[in-house]
Amino acid sequence: MTSFVEPPLKGVRVVELTHTILGPSCGMILADLGAEVIKVEPVDGDRTRRLRGFGGGFFGYFNRNKKSLALDADAPEGRKVLVKLLQSADVMIENFAPGSMAKRGLGPEHVEKINPRLVYCALKGFLPGPYEKRPALDEVVQMMGGLAYMTGPSGRPLRAGTSVVDIVGGMFGAFGTVLALKQRDRTG
């Protein structure tokens, strides 16, 4: 006899402000674990909704089990809706360039005032330092990290066929988020 076990993150609400693969991968894993993930998209929708050819399935795959909401987070009406979502959330995920969320009034120091118990998951390509502001496209990180040199023939680096760095980065983001939730529940 099989009994139903509730998913481990049932009751956890995540507000996801992400794009491409890294951020959506993190939210996808949390949603797969039972969290209610609300993906906030620009008014014209996430860019991956419009991909064609081999990219045609990206949006559906990386955003499965999520709810979607399109709004202009910089307009007063959209900001009110976003603030209300953040007030009721346990987690916020973002993967935009360093400093861009703070410029929009959505950096950790701003969001903490909206909801002091919120876990803020910021997924970035590079740590603070000389590369911090550089775009961290998956293939760039594969090259800089040496993965491409292990994948291709000797002396001819080859990008892995999938965005492995973004997907694994999202996995570690989800892992860190679950640990932060556990710590929050333990310490307040």
User: For the segment 18-41, what is each residue's pLDDT rounded down to a tens digit?
Assistant: 999 999 999 999 999 999 999 999
Domain membership flag for residue 150 = no
57 vs 51: CA distance, rounded Å = 8
Which residues is 98 bridged to in the sheet?
Answer: none
Domain membership flag for residue 132 = no
Domain membership flag for residue 182 = yes
Whether 166 is catalytic is yes
Query: What was the pLDDT predicted at 16?
Result: 99
Other CB atoms within a 10 A radius of the CB of residue 14 amount to 26
Q: How many domains does the chain have?
A: 1
Geometric angle at alpha carbon 154, from 151 and 160, rounded to 5°: 15
Query: What was the pLDDT predicted at 1?
Result: 67
For tokens 């009110």, the residue is 80
Domain membership flag for residue 98 = yes
Per the residue annotation, which of 72, 138, 166, 185 is the catalytic one?
Answer: 166
Its pTM stands at: 0.94
Domain that holds residue 108: 13-126+165-187
Q: Where are the beta strands (DSSP E) in 84-152?
A: 91-94, 119-122
Domain membership flag for residue 152 = no
Domain membership flag for residue 159 = no
CATH code, domain carrying 172: 3.40.50.10540
Domain membership flag for residue 135 = no
Query: What was the pLDDT predicted at 152?
Result: 79
Domain membership flag for residue 142 = no
User: For the segment 110-158, what is each residue's pLDDT rounded down to a tens digit?
Assistant: 999 999 999 999 999 888 899 998 888 999 999 998 999 888 788 898 9
User: For the segment 66-89, what is each residue's pLDDT rounded down to a tens digit?
Assistant: 999 999 999 999 999 999 999 999
